[in-house]
Amino acid sequence: MRAAVLTLTDAPSADAIATIEGGLNRYNREQAGYWDSRALSVLVSAPDTQAVVGEILGRTPFGLCFLDLVFLPERNAIIHQGRLDPGAELIGKPFTYATLVAKIQRLLRRAA
């Protein structure tokens, strides 16, 4: 058997991505007996303009929440001697998909 070839790239082909995602999804489905993954996106908007200034991207397989990419503007970070800006909210880790959804729903109800 010949050794596998490893290639480091910042631009994998669409076929390579499809192969990796398909294989991982198939493996997870076979191991767990089901597959319930959904994409997750939380947009952070400026309060005065409603323009999107940050985002959290993730996925929710098996009732868990995986955050893949997070960009939050400095203004929304924990600052001011470790204290949150007034009106800012924090969710502690680890958290489940249900916890995240409940927190987001509570914030949306408060904003309405």
Task: Give this prediction's pTM.
Answer: 0.45
Residues 27, 66: one domain? no
Residues 58, 23: one domain? no
Residues 72, 57: one domain? yes
Rounded percentage of the chain residues whose pLDDT exceeds 70:
81
Return the pLDDT at 25.
86
Residues 47, 99: one domain? yes
Going by the DSSP 8-state scheme, the letter that residue 57 receives in this structure is E
Residues 100, 70: one domain? yes
Does a structural domain hold residue 3?
Answer: no
Residues 13, 63: one domain? no
Domain hosting residue 79, numbered range: 38-111
List pLDDT tens digits, range 1-44.
788 888 888 899 999 999 998 998 899 889 888 888 888 888 88
- The helix (run of H) or strand (run of E) holding residue 97 is helix 97-111
Residues 27, 69: one domain? no
Does a structural domain hold residue 78?
Answer: yes
Return the pLDDT at 16.
94
Provide the residue type at 97 as one letter: Y
Does a structural domain hold residue 44?
Answer: yes
Return the pLDDT at 78.
45
